[in-house]
Amino acid sequence: MRHTMQTAAEKTISTQDILAASRTGSEASWRDYVHIARLDHMTKHVFIVPGIIMAYALVEPPLDGAVLAIILGFASAILIASANYIINEWLDREFDAFHPEKSKRTAVNKQLHAPVVYASYAACATLGLLLAWWVGPIFAAVAIVFWLSGIVYNVKPFRSKDKSYFDVLSESLNNPIRLMLGWTMIDQQSLAPLSLLVAYWMGGAFLMAAKRLSEYREIAANAGVEVLHRYRRSFRFYTERSLTLSCFLYAMLCTSLLAVFLIKYRIEYALAFPLIVALFVHYLRLSLGSGSVAQKPEKLFRERRLMLLSSATTAALLSLTFIDVPMLESLTVPYLITIDPAP
């Protein structure tokens, strides 16, 4: 018992030292202000690409000016995401000091000046929304929702990240938003099917829940549950069991809604379903490992097996977008096997 109390005290002193260091860190340079925009997280915008592909496959819109719209659209998404990252790092700096990895962030270790931070945030958000308007009014409306999602997630009195389960659902809402950004880059006359949007949302919720599960297991084991609670208020109501169950729930909802979508719009995608399921299983396996890359989604491209499986799934879906398999149409027609009565 005495050893346990000493260990807890040492952990408390350690986190207090981290907070003290965050307030007395060296003066930030201009590179530090660029760094908090997290341009290295641009890999997350790969979730925009399926929206482009699906819009083309289902609507077949004219592609005049599509290349310019896609370039401006991606630039807009990157700028708005950077604005959200800036405000996230600034407002979370004292909480991030308790996280083993996030305690290394610039805002924790450098003296940033609030006027410069807010000016950077305003510049990225304003330029991103201006570019969005040049792409088109529907794209701009989706971009505004993207920007507002960052405020709801990070800023009081909303700050959804502090509320259990709602933190996962609000953060993963960026997934269907990104899909709609891709969709409206090339088609301004329609919206993506609701079944696809909600499936994309639940898929993102699975990824975020797996991230929370990985963080819970690692931080609780190495630093203690108390440190975990100080890092993120929502963790006070989570357990390893509840997070694991939520992963299964989101995965099942995602695959169920994907089934609805593919039966209604493109039955050929059913052939890629085993690969999609394998992706869920492999990602959950990753989240249960020590030092899991699931805690750093922006670095998932370094996980070789995951990238191979993702590439195979993407290639399959892309191929099935253009390949018709007429015999699969029978799966969409209700059919009962009848048994003739004995003579």
342 exposure class (CB count in 10 Å sphere: 0-12, 13-18, 19+): exposed
The single residue listed with the structure tokens 């800036």 is: 86
pLDDT bucket at 13, cuts 50 / 70 / 90: very low
Cα(199)–Cα(323) distance, rounded to whole angstroms? Answer: 23
Instruction: Tell me the pLDDT of the chain averaged across its residues.
Output: 86
Q: Could you tell me if 301 and 43 are in contact, meaning their C-beta atoms sit under 8 angstroms apart?
A: yes
Q: What is the pLDDT of residues 304-329, one digit of tens each?
A: 888 898 889 889 988 888 888 888 88
Cα(21)–Cα(16) distance, rounded to whole angstroms? Answer: 9
27 three-state secondary structure: strand
101 three-state secondary structure: coil
The percent of residues in the chain predicted with pLDDT above 70, rounded, is 91
The single residue listed with the structure tokens 């630039």 is: 75
pLDDT of the residue at 2: 35
For residue 343, say if its preceding peptide bond is cis, omega within 30 degrees of 0.
Answer: no
Helix (H) or strand (E) holding 301: none
pLDDT of the residue at 1: 37
Q: What is the pLDDT of residues 138-186, one digit of tens each?
A: 999 999 999 999 999 999 999 999 999 999 999 999 999 999 999 999 9
Helix (H) or strand (E) holding 110: strand 110-111
Find the mean pLDDT for residues 188-201. 94
Check whether 20 has a pLDDT greater than 70: no
The more confident residue out of 341 and 105 is 105
Find the mean pLDDT for residues 203-210. 95
Task: Determine the residue type at 164.
Answer: S
pLDDT bucket at 21, cuts 50 / 70 / 90: very low
pLDDT bucket at 101, cuts 50 / 70 / 90: confident
- The tokens for 20 are 């003290």
Q: Considering only CA atoms, which of 44, 53, 8 is closest in space to residue 313? A: 53
- DSSP character for 189? S
Q: Give the chain's count of helices (H) and strands (E).
A: 15, 2
The single residue listed with the structure tokens 């997290």 is: 38
pLDDT of the residue at 4: 40
Find the mean pLDDT for residues 284-295. 81
- DSSP character for 26? E
296 three-state secondary structure: coil
Domain 23-190 superfamily per CATH: UbiA prenyltransferase (1.10.357.140)
Q: Could you tell me if 172 and 207 are in contact, meaning their C-beta atoms sit under 8 angstroms apart?
A: yes
pLDDT of the residue at 25: 65
Cα angle value 91/84/21 (rounded, 5°): 30
- The tokens for 270 are 């059913």
Find the mean pLDDT for residues 258-269. 88
In sequence order, what are the beta bridge partners of 110? 26
